[in-house]
Amino acid sequence: MKLTFWGTRGSIAVPGKDTLRYGGNTTCLCLEIEGQRPVILDAGTGIRNLGLCLAQYGQPLDLCLLITHLHWDHLLGFLFFEPAYRGGANLSVGGWPRGMEGLRSLFDSRRGDGNFPVTFSDLPARIQADESLRPPRFRLGSVQVTTIGLNHPQGGIGFRFEVEGRALVFLTDNELYGPGPYNPDHYARFCQGAEVLVHDAQYLPEEMASRRGWGHSDWRSVVELARRAGVGRLVLTHHDPGRRDEQVDDILAQARQEAGPDLPVEAAREGMVLEIKD
Ligand SMILES: [Zn+2]
Ligand SMILES: [Zn+2]
């Protein structure tokens, strides 16, 4: 499995000089599994550049899009996803059961005309909900995918991709100690022994008191989860839109110190590639 980050920012895209190294685009990742069509995770603004990259491969494009939840920062890029405008392209939508509804509503606003000049039904690509890509578990070829709910306003799901005992877990927009049906024990079990954990670490520990219930975690809670679950490598993502590159550097430095030498920690940046050998 090979995972590429196309968007690492939370809440809203923040291009500019302060976000050049970690990136300003919102959440989008691409998982490549040998012998399988590309698997896109979320359709934040990062999906635009991914679409331009995929466009180079020519026809026919066959893609899978897994949605974690319906917040704008995980959907809005789809309006400018080049393969959606391509006849012959095939896009299967799975993950959060309302994912297809979320994509459709970007185009066909019930609030009246004027949000976007193209309607969903006019898109040339074949875009369909795929019932075989639904929680609680499904397969992508040799990869077993399991899901868990998120502690996040209006809900959502996280994914564990596993092949021959080697696992990659993606949990974004998740408040580990937040209100909601799940607690850190559930997440520790879900992440147990994963080779890589990619987790939302939008906040500083000292910010949490004023952000309870917002559906995001602080870096220290995430390090604690990774250590408890015996994760091999931790990647912090969903960087706060107000955080400059140097501030993400500071978070990373503190997280590395807290994690110790046995748990490598990185901060997700656009263009970063992680390989899990299978
Ligand atoms: Zn988000
Ligand atoms: Zn969200």
**CA–centroid distance, residue 87 to ligand 1 (Å):** 30
Asked whether residue 60 carries a pLDDT value surpassing 90, the answer given is: no
Ligand nearest to the CA of 13: 1
Ligand nearest to the CA of 96: 2
**CA–centroid distance, residue 11 to ligand 2 (Å):** 7
**pLDDT score recorded for residue 112:** 59
**CA–centroid distance, residue 138 to ligand 2 (Å):** 23
pLDDT, tens only, 16-37: 999 999 999 999 999 999 989 9
Burial of 212 (0-12, 13-18, 19+ CB in 10 A): exposed
Asked if residue 90 lies in contact with residue 61, where contact means CB atoms within 8 angstroms, the answer is yes
Ligand nearest to the CA of 238: 1
CB neighbour list of residue 120: distance below 8 Å, 6 or more residues apart: 103, 104, 106, 107, 108, 127
**CA–centroid distance, residue 204 to ligand 2 (Å):** 17
**CA–centroid distance, residue 72 to ligand 2 (Å):** 8
Looking at every residue in the chain, the average pLDDT score rounds to 95
Share of residues in the chain with pLDDT > 90 (%) = 91
**CA–centroid distance, residue 26 to ligand 2 (Å):** 11
pTM above threshold 0.85: yes
**CA–centroid distance, residue 71 to ligand 1 (Å):** 6
What's the structural domain count of the chain?
A: 1
Ligand nearest to the CA of 150: 2
pLDDT, tens only, 208-261: 999 999 999 999 999 999 999 999 999 999 999 999 999 999 999 999 999 999
Range of the domain at 270: 2-275
Ligand nearest to the CA of 214: 2
**CA–centroid distance, residue 161 to ligand 2 (Å):** 21
User: Which strands form 126-129's sheet, in the order they lie side by side?
Assistant: 126-129, 90-95, 62-67, 39-41, 28-32, 2-7, 273-275
**CA–centroid distance, residue 258 to ligand 1 (Å):** 25
**pLDDT score recorded for residue 39:** 98
pLDDT band at residue 80 using 50, 70 and 90 as cut-offs = very high
**CA–centroid distance, residue 88 to ligand 2 (Å):** 32
CATH code of 195's domain: 3.60.15.10
> Near ion ligand 2, which residues have CB within 5 Å?
71, 173
**CA–centroid distance, residue 142 to ligand 1 (Å):** 29
**pLDDT score recorded for residue 55:** 84
pLDDT, tens only, 107-160: 976 655 678 889 999 999 999 999 999 999 999 999 999 999 999 999 999 999
pLDDT, tens only, 7-20: 999 999 999 999 99
The two three-digit tokens of residue 81, written as one number: 């996803």
CA distances from 13 to 16, 137, 248, 253 (A): 10, 31, 16, 24
